[in-house]
Amino acid sequence: MVIEPNLKPAIMRLASGQRLKRRKSMSRRSGQDGYFSRKGNLWHVRFYIDVPGQEKRKRLSIPVCPISGPGKKTLPERIRRAKEIINASRANSEKHFNRVEAANLGLTFGQQAERWLKESQSRKRKPVKPKTVCCWRSIIKVWLEDLGPMPLASVDNLAMKELVSKLHKAGQSPNSIRNVTNVVKMVVASAKMSKARSFPSQVEPRVHRHATHRSGGTEHAHVFRRGG
């Protein structure tokens, strides 16, 4: 196999950088262009893609075009076709990256949302009415599908801004947007509450309630009362 010399050095550095043992982040990746390799009478593009259950990315080698004869492409045409192949594989997709990271790291927003819905109905103190749960479930299905596969820890302010922008573009009213974002806040808050219940010795109820009131967490408490 012969590696074509007309390659970008940055891509080669990216490939070698896979060996660094640190938490993966899509923000540290500038996007792959891939590089060409010669196999028989075919040019292949080689690139890396995240796969579930595997820390290191998998290297793929996909045929681009013949080296000679019918179907042969110029270098600019090969580069353009290689980008199409990489984009089609979703190797540079943040959504794909989030799905894989969620599978590798554990709990996702969707999993916590389902747990939250069940606990809201089954809890002994002020269980939520089935009609309210049905409304929440509908919101999750219609508007929060993209958040479902994301790691719960990744549902941050940036994710909320993108969600609000999406709702605005869809023509949703301010009240509808508030209802959707409140569901997201309640799902995330429920995970924190579950963690606190799991480690009661680390939580002082009086101080916690006071801190929550001052930090703006009161909004979540009001949302729960309105929902029930």
**CA–CA separation, 101 vs 50, rounded Å?**
8
Between 76 and 27, the more confident residue is 76
Give pLDDT, residue 64. Answer: 94
Query: In percent, how much of the chain has pLDDT > 70?
Result: 68
The string of pLDDT tens digits covering residues 95-116 is 777 777 766 666 889 999 999 9
Q: Which domains does the chain have, with CATH numbers?
A: 2-102 (no CATH), 106-227 (1.10.150.130)
The string of pLDDT tens digits covering residues 173-218 is 999 999 999 999 999 898 877 655 544 443 333 433 433 444 444 3
Mean pLDDT for 23-30 is: 56
Mean pLDDT for 40-64 is: 86
3-state helix, strand, coil in the chain (%, to 5): 60, 10, 30
